[in-house]
Chains A and B, each alone.
Chain A
Amino acid sequence: MAEKLPASLEKLNTEEYLLNMGPQHPSTHGVLRIILKLDGEVIKDVVPVMGYIHRGMEKMFENRKYDQIIPFTDRTDYLSAVNNNFAYVIGVEKLLGVVVPERAEYLRVILAELNRIMSHLLWLSAYGMDVGAFTPLLYIFREREEIIAMFELITGNRLTHNAFRLGGFKYDVPKTFFEKLEKFISHFADNLDEYETLLINNVIFKSRTVGVGVITKALALSYGVSGPSLRGSDIKMDVRRDTPYSAYSKFVFEIPTGKNGDTWDRCEVRMNEMRQSLSILQQAMQGFPQGDIMAKIPKIIKPPAGEVYTAVEGPRGEVGFYIISDGTEKPYRVKMRVPSFSNLSALKDMTVGFKIADVVAIMGSLDLVIPEIDR
């Protein structure tokens, strides 16, 4: 929290005023609106206003067949399309009782981890912009472009991949994919070190982030904060390890955590997570099995009546799908649990007492994706 005013200034008659940040503001990453109550530059209150791009996704799910929903899940959190697919697809497969072939499981993990790196890279570049460093963005987009090219090779699209199908994949991996992946793995660790020196370890960056926007352990748990924002507060919680889904139980990886739960810890956790993803990618590439890429699933997908909740560890946190089936072609209800929403709810406790510039830094460190919040 901010330091107390000196005694000589306490009697000073200042006036609080409201500042409307967004929905069109360079650093709200979309159309989030934040009403700031300010005293000079110091923040007294924060009220996030959401819903500017509410599209009624969950209602749309109810009017689509099970396999038609997958491309819509891409569009909730467009930066981690694959992980959203993942959460939904394993849910429906659980309802159907389909066992996915191992090759498809491995490919799913590869895509999900690539997607995590891609999302974190975009976060890093956007965060650099938020704190005023423009240059890292253009370096980082070079690596991101490599990943996007890999996605394009496999799925055919660059951002909203619609990568997964119920039961596996439609097409097998192209041969050139692994060459590209190998090349990417070979140089990516060096690039990460470079970005760490350029941005994360920079003294100005550190002074902007260390001790800013602290989420304590208790606060994080009470708000349901998840993902790197939670792990920054020194809570070792990761869906990939706690309730392993798909092929994740076969890989060895660490869960990086921060110490103080401040903005810098969250950044560092994301950087280390990218390194861990890289190691998972390496393991998955080495052990990539032969076999089918698609399980046998019925032409008309009619899961038996029942309900299921499945969650995956997305780049921003726990992405969950709660699906209720009434035995017809279309789900009765699909509820999404999105990480950005719960992460945003902690914003007020993190920002009050800091300055305008810190709001930007803190919001950036939460890695919010607004379409995911509004859905």
Chain B
Amino acid sequence: MLKYIKDIITGAITLLEGMAITFKYMFQKPITLQYPEQKAQMTTRFRGRLVMPVDEEKGDNRCTACNICVKACPNYSIAVERLTDETGKPKPKAASFTYNMGTCMFCNLCVEVCPFSAIVMSEEYELAVYDRKSLIKDLVAEKYKLKGRKGKWWISKFKDEEQV
């Protein structure tokens, strides 16, 4: 009988403790990020989708179509076509860089192996599209301009400055 009463009282105390916690939180500021208006600031290392930014000094992308990234990709999401001159001799320049975002798993391996820092993972994270075909992108034709912190970080990468 005594145990019965004791159980009820201790049980009620634990319940009240829980209620005190929820009551306390009721007067705290919400932590919600009002998404479409406010957006989270991604870190410089954030891996959004793959882009091939235009190097402002060069006026073009830095890709030499060496195919190292193609070999490094675990999912075969990258296909590079090399530019050729009139005689059919290949030039160190990519004619097209086909990137299939549908199969990409954002592992960053292609970026890490690139000896020229030609490709980089952008800060974008709203990658959903309505059409499956639009997941396949030609990065050379896109002429992506990388700006902001990520852009600075990317430039510092191939200029051998201190990494952020």
Contact = CB atoms under 8 A, between A and B. Distances in A.
A touches B in complex, CB < 8 A? yes
Interface of A: 64, 67-72, 75, 135, 139, 142, 149, 152-157, 160, 162, 170-172, 174, 194, 197-199, 201-204, 206
Contacts, number: 72
B74 A68 contact: yes
B22 to A, nearest CB: 6
B105 A160 contact: yes
Given A156-B45, A156-B121, A194-B21, A202 B107 contact: no
Given A160-B106, A206-B14, 19 more contacts: A68-B73, A71-B74, A71-B109, A139-B25, A153-B43, A153-B45, A155-B45, A156-B45, A162-B107, A170-B108, A171-B45, A174-B43, A197-B18, A197-B21, A198-B18, A198-B21, A198-B22, A199-B18, A201-B17
Contacts of B164: 174
B14 A203 contact: yes
Contacts of A142: 31
A80 B164 CA distance: 27
A199 B45 CA distance: 36
B106 to A, nearest CB: 6
A201 B14 contact: yes
Contacts of B72: 68
Given A154-B45, A171-B163, A68 B109 contact: yes
B92 interface: no
A70 B74 CA distance: 9
A355 to B, nearest CB: 21
A89 B22 CA distance: 43
9 contacts: A68-B73, A152-B42, A157-B108, A162-B109, A198-B17, A199-B18, A202-B18, A203-B12, A203-B14
Given A64-B74, A72-B74, A153-B45, A197 B14 contact: yes
A64 B73 CA distance: 10
Contacts of B107: 70-71, 160, 162
Given A71-B74, A71-B105, A171-B163, A156 B43 contact: yes
B45 A202 contact: no
B27 to A, nearest CB: 14
A152 B74 contact: no
B15 interface: yes
Contact of B15 (A160, A194, A202): A202
Interface in B42-98: 42-43, 45-47, 72-74
A92 B15 CA distance: 51
A75 B105 contact: yes
Contacts of A172: 163
Contacts of B38: none
